[in-house]
Structure 1
Amino acid sequence: MAQFCVSPFCSSPSPPCLQLHRQHQFFFISQPKIAPPPPSASATDSTFTIASTSSNLTPKVVVTRERGKNSKLITALAKHEINCLELPLIEHLRGPDFDKLPTLLTDYAFDWVIITSPEAGSVFLEAWRAAGMPRVRIGVVGSGTASIFKDALLSSNQSLDVAFSPSKATGKVLATELPRIGNKTTILYPASAKASNEIEEGLSSRGFEVTRMNTYTTVPVQHVDQMILKQALAAPVVTVASPSAIRAWKNLLSDSDWSNSVACIGETTAAMAGRLGFKNVYHPTQPGLEG
């Protein structure tokens, strides 16, 4: 049985329609039973489930990652008959150091390349291929980030080695547990321009030599459909996968008294939600989609 962590920001009780179940490393949203269709309803109508994406069903969960990157969560929730609404809150842009990364990978050999998010992994792989796929040793923050390298591992002719993941999927634990290599361990850390300094400070304090490259950045989407936003505000749960996403959601609320639940991918995002004033904040003990 998986253990769930309700963050300290969750002092307020959950809305009556929400119940946290500790099964299969996943929290489910209890839903009211659907009344049977009237006698005149067709057989097709009677087999509809709440997991359907039909627009006449009220969504229970809002998914907010960049467009095209919500399908795994939508599919996972659909298996539990939970209907989702997709409302992308953020988008990714190239950072100031992106164009320098292929040259750096060509000219220098690092003991470790540290990747702490799926987007950081995707951006790194683009630069790595442009550099001719040099041999690199990768440390990832967790299984979700590691999955980005799955296809590349099949075609890299063993030049790509995902060799480390910490016991807990956080940057702080990664910086504490990353193995030392030789007398002076050199680190390449391609990251979001908005990422904190926690990882490089933690590694530097251990004597590692860290080169950080801000290869991408995260910005709020430029346009939000107001009809979709209205639906999202009525949903019991909003999911967020980064501090940037919860900040974008906060900005959309304006002066709204919205007080429904926020499900965060991990404790870093949950901590940001708490600082922004959200009360019903939840996150899994182990960060990631499975949680």
Structure 2
Amino acid sequence: MPNPGKVYLVGAGPGSLAYLTVSARQLLAEADVLVYDALVDLSLLQQVSPTCEQIHVGKRGGQPSTPQAEINRCLVEQCLQGKTVVRLKSGDPFIFGRTAAEIQALQAARCAFEIIPGISSALAAPLLAGIPLTDPVLSRGFGVFTVHDLDGLDWSALSRLETLVLLMGGRRLPEICQRLQQHGQRGEMPVAVIRWASQPQQQVWQGTLLSISQQTRGARLSPCIIVIGEVVRLREYLQPAVRAMQPLKYKTILVTRAASQSSRFTDLLTAQGAAVIDLPALEIRPPTSWEPMDNAIAALPSFDWLILTSANAVTFFLDRLLAAGGDLRSLAQLKIAVVGQKTATVLRQRGLTPDFIPPEYVADSLVAHFPAAGGLKGLRLLFPRVESGGRTVLVDEMAAQGATVVEVPAYESVCPAHLTAAGEAALAQNQADAISFASSKTVRHFAQLMQQAFGRDWLGRLDGVAIASIGPQTSQACEQQLGRVDIEAAEYTLEGLTQAIVEWADGSSA
């Protein structure tokens, strides 16, 4: 009997991953099919597996929308194929979400379904703007309405509410203000318009019924929440002072590191308040053949030094050593040199301590400061490294000084098949503030992927996007492939790159 499918009608909250429920996040990871709205933050798309089919059915005021009947048909069709379907809806599914129509369609087709609540933007947006919807003195309650049909609302009743929250009213703001005043509300009543609540591009306009239309003239307000009431005045006292604590708040950073390597850097950036979207330009795989590595492991006693220049080299070499039946004691007679604190940290996590770390975190420094008392002449060095495309300066210099360097492929780094959906959408919709590169190869692969996605004019997609580099070699690749570099780390580490991006955001970088 075929495995029955199921549809989960999931609330995405106001959009930011930070406000997604635990249940929603787990379901995204398990989904076979994701059917999502236009208002969902692109970073949420990264929570699904690479094999998950993504179907965009977004509705946005004033723009072409997917008919509700088509959305219903899609959900039923995917469910009947035995798939786990997540219907990701902005806010809460039961607050202006048209969920009833989808439930009726699923029931008629005898499809299993479950509803997962989310935080409504009607509640989250005012909070994130520093506006309390209730107050012991100013607001004993509030009302929430959509304003698709102005004539269908009782404006006399609305004008008497102490606090009014209106959704989907950006294009009708002047009419809303006019109708409230016509039904007795005073023109000096405070108003706030909150656009893209919880997102890096969040904007807040604050005025009165008389002034707010002029203040927002020419601005594109959708998607927005409108708050009307005396509580709006409390914003100047209650708005969180997060800028000093999170200098990257409201900045969206694209990270091009391999998906398996990006979590640490993502943590560093999000700790500074950034919204991070993964756009991996590297895919790390085992080498084409393990034979050279296995031969080197079998001959470990013949080597004097083990050279490790990346965390990947540490991981793949030690994993292969263990797979071959060896253990850390097999390295007892070897000295180990590493490039970079990250590489050293990974090595220590595996139970080994490096004998030498050059003062600068680049391969050139390893050669210049190598601690061998009698020089390199006569030494045998084992160098597990990327299979192809790496720089040859280390091997060339050591060989020139009389060392025998045995290079063995430890891993392969290749270009992914395409840009991630979230990363491509961020660039297509001008949502990225900066894009970071931690190696020359990521720059070259990124250029290849961009040309594939956007054609000959792909460089134009980077207008207004800062190019951030981890160090000189990567910066050189940025200049060659992208025509510029805007941010370069003073210390060639992920921590250094994070600090450089923070300084750029603060306007203090050179």
Quote the Cα distance in structure 2 between the aligned partners of 1:283 and 1:164: 26
1:234 partner amino acid: Q
TM-fit CA distance, 1:102: 3.0
Q: Which residue of 2 aligns with 1:282?
A: 487
Alignment of 1:101 with 2:101, yes or no, is no
* Aligned match of 2:426: 231
Deviations, residues 239-271 of structure 1 (Å, cap 9, x unaligned):
111112111221233222123222122221111
The one-letter code matched in structure 1 to 2:425 is K
Partner SS, residue 211 of structure 1:
strand
The whole-number CA distance in structure 2 between the counterparts of 1:225 and 1:246 is 16
Which residue number corresponds to residue 118 of structure 1? 311
| Equivalences for residues 38-187 of structure 1 within 5 A | 38-40=131-133, 60-109=252-301, 110-131=303-324, 132-133=326-327, 134-135=330-331, 136-153=334-351, 160-180=352-372, 184-187=378-381
What is the rounded CA distance, in whole Å, between the counterparts of 1:49 and 1:70 in structure 2? Answer: 25
Question: What letter matches 1:100 in structure 2?
Answer: P
- Please, which runs of 5 or more residues in structure 1 have no aligned partner? 1-33, 154-159
CA offsets 1:139-178 (integer angstroms, 9 cap, x no match) = 111101111112221xxxxxx4411111111111112222
- Structure 2 equivalent of residue 241 of structure 1: 438
| Residue 383 of structure 2: aligned partner | 189
Which amino acid in structure 1 is aligned with residue 269 of structure 2? L
- Name 1:261's counterpart in structure 2: 466
* SS class of match (2:259): coil
- The alignment's TM-score, normalised by the length of structure 1, stands at 0.75
Task: Describe the shift of the 1:227–1:126 C-alpha distance in structure 2 as closer, same or farther (beyond 3 A).
Answer: closer
Higher helix share: 2
Q: Distance in 2 between matches of 1:41 and 1:113?
A: 65
Contact conserved, 1:273 with 1:281, CA < 8 A, in 2?
A: no
Q: CA offsets per residue over residues 216-237 of structure 1, 9 Å max, x none? A: 2211112334453121453111
Contact 1:194-1:217 within 8 A present in 2 as well: no
Aligned to 1:204: 399
CA drift of 1:208 comes to 1.2
- The 2-side partners of 1:200 and 1:217 are apart by 18
- Kept after mapping to 2: 8 A contact 1:166/1:174: yes
Name whichever of 96-105 and 205-214 sits farther off. Answer: 96-105
Helix, strand or coil at the partner of 1:214: strand
Q: Report the CA distance shift for 1:181/1:267 in structure 2 as closer, same or farther (over 3 A).
A: same
CA contact (8 A) 2:309 2:339 kept: yes
Instruction: Give the residue type in structure 1 aligned to 2:362.
Output: T
Partner of 2:409: 214
> How many residues matched?
247
Deviation at 1:96, TM superposition (A): 3.7
C-alpha offsets along residues 110-149 of structure 1, whole Å, 9 cap, x if unaligned? 1111111111111111122234021232111110111111
Alpha-carbon distance in 2 for matches of 1:137, 1:245: 31
Report the 3-state secondary structure (helix = DSSP H, G, I; strand = E; otherwise coil) of the residue aligned with 1:234.
coil
CA distance in 1, matches of 2:405, 2:486: 34
Query: 1:207 and 1:35 mapped to 2: Cα distance?
Result: 64
SS of alignment partner, residue 202 of structure 1: helix
Question: Is the CA contact (8 Å cut-off) linking 1:112 and 1:187 kept in structure 2?
Answer: yes
Largest Rg, 1 or 2: 2
Q: Secondary structure at the match of 1:62?
A: strand
Distance in 1 (CA, whole Å) between partners of 2:258 and 2:242 is 26
Report which structure shows greater RCO (CA 8 Å, sep ≥6): 1
CA contact (8 A) 2:277 2:422 kept: no
Determine the C-alpha separation between the residues in 2 that align with 1:194 and 1:264: 19
CA distance in 1 between counterparts of 2:314 and 2:241 reads: 38
Question: In structure 1, how many angstroms separate the alpha carbons of the residues matched to 2:251 and 2:132?
Answer: 26
| 1:69, distance to aligned residue in structure 2 (A) | 2.2
TM-score, length of structure 2 as denominator length: 0.44
Q: Distance in 2 between matches of 1:224 and 1:253?
A: 8
Q: 1:36 aligns with which of 124, 129, 139?
A: 129
Note the alpha carbon deviations across 1:40-89, whole angstroms, 9 max, x for none: 399xx87797999xxxx965211121214222122212222122112222
Q: Closer, same or farther in 2 for the Cα pair 1:48/1:118, shift >3 Å?
A: farther
Residues 419 and 450, structure 2, Cα contact 8 Å, conserved in 1: no
Post-superposition shift, 1:104?
A: 1.6
* Amino acid of the structure 1 residue aligned with 2:343: T
CA RMSD of aligned residues (A): 3.0
Identity of aligned residues (%): 22
CA distance in 1, matches of 2:344, 2:287: 22
Q: In structure 2, give the amino acid aligned to 1:190.
A: P
The 2-side partners of 1:121 and 1:203 are apart by 20
